[in-house]
Chain A
Amino acid sequence: MTDLAQPVPSPAIEVQGLTKYYDGKAVVNDVSFQIPTGCVFGFLGCNGAGKSTTTKMLMGMVVPDAGSAKLLGHEVSTLDPQVRERIAYIAEGHPLYSWMSIREAIRFTKPFYKRWNQELLEQVLEHFGLPLTRKIRRLSKGQQAQVSLALAIAPQPELLILDDPTLGLDTVVRREFLESMIQIIQREGRTIMFSSHILGDVERVADRIGIMVDGRLQVDCTTEEFKQSVSKLVLEFDRPVNGSIVFPECKGVVGSRSILNQLEVIVVNLNDEHRLLAERLEPKQIETESMNLEDSFLEYTRTNRKSVPVFVDQLKSHS
């Protein structure tokens, strides 16, 4: 019998123990993860969590102090121009030469690439309604983001890495931009990694999420799994709590706070042990509240010192 099993494709991004120190402080600390080919990966974290530095290390813009990374199976530190041509990168703030017009920016970028798809570029520019003669500096932030996106996808990359592409955009433009981005980019099954600190954006488009807290990757799982893994136990008492009742320290408890006669406890992977501990406090009522991604993220990162890593087997969770 012939073995029909398909070979498992190598991950689009493989990161192993990436570490970066600035002034003796680890801004990225031993970060490891993998992004399967064809996946949309949302890279989350508060400002200063280390997302941008990690992304820059992936792109070879920042030299790591330890660890390594592979893009499309190739070491980042020795990335060939041929491999780099298959990867698009939009840096934070959409840096472009502001004195150029859109046409000049295209003329400048095009000669660097062999696989330049002018037709696709024109379609995208037309979709966004961008005038070719307009100077980059005269464009709004949203339009600059659109130009960056158009220039990034024209060489038909297999992997796109976008560092906070919606930073500085208002809600409407942000939503429009993200929807267009996913529609344009992912239609050929490309891999996308994009960082953001806006949860709503990620929730809508990402298959998987990674959350950085204080330079460490604390979460790496599917979006659904994360939503399910973080829960809120609400314990209601017949008297004001005001700090007199404290939930015991236990694995999975990332934080708690008291509001009037309620004690709210944020738990990762809620289990019987947590319920038992809650019952021992003899509350009048115990409720388990589900949380949307934004609430989960906020609660999870707000109490970051006690954050419990959430990792799920990558291949299993992606299948």
Chain B
Amino acid sequence: MWPITLAYKEFRQLLPIQIVGLILVLLTIFGMCGINILTISGNSSTTEIPFYNDTTAQFLPAIGAMLAGITGYWQTLSESMRGTWLFLWHRPIARSRMTLVKLSSGLGLIWCVTVFPMLFYALWAGSQGSIAAPFLWENTLMYWKSCFGLSMIYLSCYLSGLRRARWYGTRLLPVLMAISAFLLTTTTEYYAGLSLLLILAIDVILIAAIFTQCHLEDFS
């Protein structure tokens, strides 16, 4: 039962951030479909094929990266600032297990915000008479890569928020590393398998670092 209550707590705490993130993602997608909600004149700009264009390659990963970063920092810094790590870590469950639930909740929410809009779009585009151009899954490869890549940004920000360092340079080091890897893996259409392997390897390193830090960090 405790994983559900802990996940629910994370969900409640992250909800405002995710709502803002979802609105930004939806506005971008609607914009690509020619529906510019924020444009007062109502004139639509050129219509693009969502998830297979430059906007998808640039704006959506940028929004996703911001969302992932804020989520990671929020989950750690809000506990530090309120002193609630002391409350949470005293519960009779291993810290690694609680951390796993926190990470799953954060990552799950980021994925909901970034992946669900695409799935809904795919569902709509796949229905008869909805769109002139056919929706092809292989066209969404770049978007999928950026979705997977967000985990690196999220985990690095979580680690950075958890880990106090002597100065901000060393504290931000994992984030800089993750951003570099994110750019490397999401700006090319080629080497999809290799990119995913790299993302996976970096995720494993970051998760191991987070688990270690949970036991080495001074929580006060």
- Interface residues in chain A, defined as those with a beta carbon under 8 Å from any beta carbon in chain B: 52-53, 56, 59-63, 81-82, 84-85, 89, 91-93, 95-100, 107-109, 111-113
Interface residues of B in 73-118 (CB under 8 A from A): 82-87, 89-94
Binds A, one of B5-13, B35-43, B51-59, B168-176: B5-13
Q: Are B12 and A112 in contact (CB under 8 A)?
A: no
User: Contacting B86 at CB < 8 Å: which of A95, A112, A113?
Assistant: A95
Q: Are A59 and B90 in contact (CB under 8 A)?
A: yes
Q: Are A89 and B86 in contact (CB under 8 A)?
A: yes
Q: Which residues of A contact B217 (CB under 8 A)?
A: 63
- A to B CB contacts below 8 Å, 13 in the list: A56-B218, A61-B89, A61-B219, A61-B220, A62-B218, A81-B94, A84-B91, A91-B83, A93-B83, A95-B84, A96-B84, A97-B82, A111-B1
User: Is B133 in contact with chain A by the CB < 8 A criterion?
Assistant: no
Chain B, interface size category, equals 20 to 34
Q: Which residues of B contact A85 (CB under 8 A)?
A: 92
Q: Are B218 and A112 in contact (CB under 8 A)?
A: no
A97 in contact with B84 given A82-B92, A107-B5, A113-B92 (CB within 8 Å):
yes
Q: Which residue of A lies closest to B87 (CB)?
A: A95
* Least distance between A190 CB and chain B CB atoms (Å): 17
Q: Are B82 and A95 in contact (CB under 8 A)?
A: yes
Q: Are B83 and A56 in contact (CB under 8 A)?
A: no
A/B pair count, beta carbons within 8 Å: 70
Report how far A224 CA is from B139 CA in the complex, Å.
80
Q: Are B220 and A62 in contact (CB under 8 A)?
A: yes
- Interface residues in chain B, defined as those with a beta carbon under 8 Å from any beta carbon in chain A: 1-2, 4-6, 8-9, 12-13, 82-87, 89-94, 215-220
Report how far A89 CA is from B91 CA in the complex, Å.
9
User: Contacting B9 at CB < 8 Å: which of A52, A91, A97?
Assistant: A97
Q: Given A56-B218, A84-B90, A95-B84, 7 more contacts at CB 8 Å?
A: A56-B86, A56-B220, A59-B90, A60-B89, A61-B90, A61-B220, A99-B13
Report how far A52 CA is from B92 CA in the complex, Å.
21
User: Contacting A112 at CB < 8 Å: which of B13, B82, B91, B219?
Assistant: B91
- A61, A96, A98 interface centre (most CB from chain B within 10 Å): A61
* Least distance between B184 CB and chain A CB atoms (Å): 35
Q: Which residues of A contact B219 (CB under 8 A)?
A: 56, 61-62
Q: Which residues of A contact B85 (CB under 8 A)?
A: 61
Report how far A108 CA is from B84 CA in the complex, Å.
13
* Least distance between B14 CB and chain A CB atoms (Å): 12
A91 in contact with B216 given A81-B92, A99-B12, A99-B13 (CB within 8 Å):
no
* Least distance between A78 CB and chain B CB atoms (Å): 11
* Least distance between B219 CB and chain A CB atoms (Å): 5
A98 in contact with B86 given A81-B94, A108-B5, A108-B9 (CB within 8 Å):
no
Q: Which residues of A contact B216 (CB under 8 A)?
A: 63
* Least distance between B108 CB and chain A CB atoms (Å): 19
Q: Which residues of A contact B218 (CB under 8 A)?
A: 56, 61-63
Q: Which residues of B contact A99 (CB under 8 A)?
A: 12-13
* Least distance between A55 CB and chain B CB atoms (Å): 10
Report how far A109 CA is from B2 CA in the complex, Å.
8
Q: Which residues of A contact B4 (CB under 8 A)?
A: 111
